[in-house]
Amino acid sequence: MKKRENWSWRGAFVFAVLGSAVGLGNAWRFPYMVAQNGGGAFLIPYIFALLTAGIPLMMLEFGIGHKFLGAPPIAYRRANKKLEMVGWWGNAASFVIITYYGVVLAWAINYLVHALTLAWGDDTTGFFLNFLRVSEGPHILGGLNVPVLIAFVIGWIMVIAIIRSGVTGLGKVVVFTAIAPVILLIILSIRGITLEGALAGLDYYLSPNFAALADLTVWRDAYSQVFFSLSLGMGVLIAYASYLPRDAELSNNVFIASLADAGIAFLAGLAIFSTVGYMAAQQGAAVADVAGSGGIGLAFMVFPQVINLLPGAAAFGVIFFLLLITLAIDSQFSLVEGCVGAVMDKWNLSRGTALAIVSLPGFLIGLVFVTNGGLHWLDIVDKFVNGYGLIVVGLVECIAIGWIIGPQKIRDHVNGLSEIKVGKWFDFCVKYLTPAALIFILVFNLIIDIKEPYGGYPQWALNVGWAMVILLPIVAFIFSKLKTAKEADEFVEEQS
Ligand code: PHE
């Protein structure tokens, strides 16, 4: 077997994990999830989900990747031949995310250009809808949106260029892409908080709404947001951990990455909701209405508002969107890398071939979201793949590790390497707590979603979402049955 590629220096791994975790999930998805769930109702379930699923599962994925040295399918296969499918399942889910993540990235690239002239003017909401020329419903695709298409191609070229350079290259890019955005978000938050009306926005964001905790869709969204934001359940972290040196620290990296990710999402929320408060005050509208009407485009309507109000707005806007792009790119390449690693390891292919196998279909399918009806589809696919796809994968992971492989095996491995020892709580989470929470959420949301179609979309469009969720394990099963290169089955214990 080829010697496994390694991160080039010690800090590279934690930066890479941060680079993957911190992305559009923090700056774009988190705020609109908060808004969709009525503001202050969201933070408590979110923190709960972070502790009960986020941290244990991240530990688990680091442990598997590092112990069994492979991208997800092969790592699971080495743990137990029957489990290979679990790995592919995560890869399949991440592939779905790859297809639309690149489109949101393309919006950001367009906004970078618009920032030069502050083209969005004062009516940033109208500008966004006009920019996407959103069709009336998912049944009207309309044509391709040319500016988005151009940016979509550019985005893919950048991602491919970075991945081609291999793991050593990744290590260098992420240092910049992980840190710089934080500084910008702090500046935006400070400006946001000092705006007129900001307090009402912050109140909406931060004051806990205990009544809403009874609504189970809030919990589902919180868990799926944690999965999305921490890059969990998609094999990315398994693949990344497999590139670590044999004597790497694991557990402290889990805490650094998960807490930093949550902190950055929180910061983005501060900037967004203080500005939403300002927008509401300007329009004489209620904060909840302004936040709720933004939908999936919320961040793109709100960030430009606060940018308008900064000294040197255009320059600031350019820097901000540049950073949003870098933030998104390292997440997108981690998604692609997870799949590329899987294909490479399974069939012992070269990086280039595997990259072509993953990115060509990823690009082509993504074109659906570049159409005028794309926003509706993005909304549906995002909802289903995160709300069901990822949560199911997380559950399957817990069952595989908790009940088949044995959580103490992973824990022993992690503890053998790390300064911070992982206690028995880990076994308890993986065996009981996390799966129980996930099953509970799945069952109740199934009932809710069957009763009341999500987002008012027609049933046939939602069925596409359901079909996708069902297809994920089928595809995973088929892939796991394909012939494996014999190199993948030679387990080399001592590598570095
Ligand atoms: N965590 C990334 C974000 O927050 C998205 C992502 C999901 C990346 C899954 C890798 C795997 O934007």
Q: Could you report the per-residue pLDDT of 163-181, keeping only the tens digit for each?
A: 887 666 666 666 676 677 8
* pLDDT value of residue 445: 85
Residue 492 pLDDT more than 60? no
Residue 199 pLDDT more than 90? yes
- Which CATH topology does 10-495 take? Amino acid/polyamine transporter I (1.20.1740)
Give the mean pLDDT of 388-406.
92
Q: Whose CA is nearest to atom 11 of ligand 1?
A: 231
* pLDDT value of residue 420: 81
* pLDDT value of residue 155: 95
Q: Whose CA is nearest to atom 6 of ligand 1?
A: 231
234: CA distance to ligand 1 center in Å? 9
200: CA distance to ligand 1 center in Å? 30
Residue 345 pLDDT more than 90? no
Residue 3 pLDDT more than 70? no
Give the mean pLDDT of 395-423.
89
Please state, for a pLDDT cut of 70, what percent of the chain lies above it: 94
Residue 144 DSSP SS3 = strand
Give the tokens for residue 379. Answer: 């909304």
Residue 495 pLDDT more than 60? no
Give the tokens for residue 50. Answer: 């972070």
356: CA distance to ligand 1 center in Å? 21
* pLDDT value of residue 173: 66
The whole-angstrom separation of Cα 460 and Cα 10 is 50
242: CA distance to ligand 1 center in Å? 18
User: Could you read off the pLDDT of 233-287 as tens digits, one per residue?
Assistant: 888 999 888 888 777 788 888 999 999 999 999 999 999 999 999 999 999 999 9
* pLDDT value of residue 10: 66
User: Could you read off the pLDDT of 440-475 as tens digits, one per residue?
Assistant: 889 988 888 888 888 889 999 999 999 999 999 999
Helix, strand, coil in percent for the chain, rounding step 5: 80, 0, 20
Using the atom order of ligand 1, give the atom closest to the CA of residue 334. Answer: 10
Q: What is the CA radius of gyration of the chain?
A: 21
Strands (DSSP E) found in 39-196 = none
- Residue 113 banded pLDDT, cuts 50, 70, 90: very high
Using the atom order of ligand 1, give the atom closest to the CA of residue 331. Answer: 8
User: Could you read off the pLDDT of 220-234 as tens digits, one per residue?
Assistant: 899 999 999 999 988
371: CA distance to ligand 1 center in Å? 23
Give the tokens for residue 447. Answer: 């009932």
b/e per residue, 255-294, with b = 16+ CB within 10 A? eebbebbbebbbbbbbbbbbbbbbbbbeeeeebeebbbeb
Indicate the average pLDDT of the chain.
89
386: CA distance to ligand 1 center in Å? 11
State whether the Cα torsion 6-11-12-14 is positive or negative.
positive
Residue 371 DSSP SS3 = strand
The whole-angstrom separation of Cα 420 and Cα 229 is 24
> pTM for the full model?
0.90
User: Where in the chain are the domains?
Assistant: 10-495
94: CA distance to ligand 1 center in Å? 9
The whole-angstrom separation of Cα 336 and Cα 339 is 5
Q: Whose CA is nearest to atom 4 of ligand 1?
A: 25
* pLDDT value of residue 252: 86
Kindly state the DSSP code that residue 312 receives in the 8-state scheme: T
224: CA distance to ligand 1 center in Å? 11
Using the atom order of ligand 1, give the atom closest to the CA of residue 332. Answer: 8
Give the mean pLDDT of 88-109.
95
149: CA distance to ligand 1 center in Å? 22
Residue 494 pLDDT more than 50? no
Using the atom order of ligand 1, give the atom closest to the CA of residue 22. Answer: 4
- Alpha helices, H only, 313-402: 313-347, 351-366, 374-384, 391-399
The whole-angstrom separation of Cα 111 and Cα 100 is 17
Give the mean pLDDT of 409-426.
88
Q: Give the chain's end-to-end CA distance (angstroms, integer).
A: 13
Residue 64 pLDDT more than 70? yes
Using the atom order of ligand 1, give the atom closest to the CA of residue 230. Answer: 1
Pocket test for ligand 1, best of 261, 331, 358, 381 (most atoms within 8 A of CB): 331
Measured from CB, residues less than 6 Å from any atom of ligand 1 are 20-21, 23-26, 94, 97, 228-229, 231, 234, 236, 331, 334-335
Distances from the Cα of 179 to the Cα of 15, 176, 239, 333, 364, angstroms? 9, 6, 22, 17, 32
